[in-house]
Amino acid sequence: DAKTTQPTSMDCAEGRAANLPCNHSTISGNEYVYWYRQIHSQGPQYIIHGLKNNETNEMASLIITEDRKSSTLILPHATLRDTAVYYCIVRVGVYNQGAQKLVFGQGTRLTINP
Amino acid sequence: EPEVTQTPSHQVTQMGQEVILRCVPISNHLYFYWYRQILGQKVEFLVSFYNNEISEKSEIFDDQFSVERPDGSNFTLKIRSTKLEDSAMYFCASRRGHQPQHFGDGTRLSIL
């Protein structure tokens, strides 16, 4: 699986959009970009994933550049409860057989300030 | 919304003792996983399980570890003879088909 690079930490004001970048310059054609977050010591929580098109769900939006070498997770109206560590993970496509393990990096520690 | 549930939330065990961590995956999921997170460190993959056998395991998952799906609902991780360095949060995850993995809230294992 391709390696990802994320900033160690970020701050965002409550109510503003939080934009979390991720670089994955060695991504290959069949690899998806996944985002998870971990609030305090809880289990990782799935947020969103995508292959090449931008995606949106009730939690966030995912913008993937045309060359797929980077992506941005957008939390449109951040709240204090969005304070967490956010992980960008690149993994072979979900339709492949196999273990599909997730390889977590250090992630970005996002702090939402009142 | 269905959840992965793990019990107990906190387990304290003497070094050298056996411990079993329990997980109830989401009911129609077929792929099961254990991960661990030592305090202050990354989440690390331990093992994946599908069709009643291990699909993949990491170097951490040595002979002291085993997994079992004893019935249609539980998925367990056993550590035969615990060591101090086994102290960590252990997370169970499950998924169905092409859907993403969903995690439980973990068991904090403390080895004394």
Please compute the mean of the pLDDT values over residues A73-88 and round it to a whole number. 97
In this prediction, residue B78 carries a pLDDT of: 97
In this prediction, residue A97 carries a pLDDT of: 55
In this prediction, residue A72 carries a pLDDT of: 98
In this prediction, residue B1 carries a pLDDT of: 74
In this prediction, residue A93 carries a pLDDT of: 56
pLDDT at B45 over 90: yes
| Contacts across the A-B interface (CB distance below 8 Å) | 57
Please compute the mean of the pLDDT values over residues B40-56 and round it to a whole number. 92
C-beta of residue A113 within 8 angstroms of C-beta of residue A78: no
pLDDT at A91 over 60: yes
Chain B partners within 8 Å of A38 (Cβ):
43
Q: Give the rounded percent of residues in chain B with a pLDDT score beyond 90.
A: 86
In this prediction, residue B39 carries a pLDDT of: 93
Whether the CB of A98 is below 8 Å from some CB of chain B: the reply is: yes
pLDDT digits (tens, 9 = 90+) for A32-50: 999 999 998 799 999 999 9
Q: How far is CA A52 from CA A68, A80, B71, in A?
A: 7, 30, 40
DSSP state of A44: P
pLDDT at A1 over 80: no
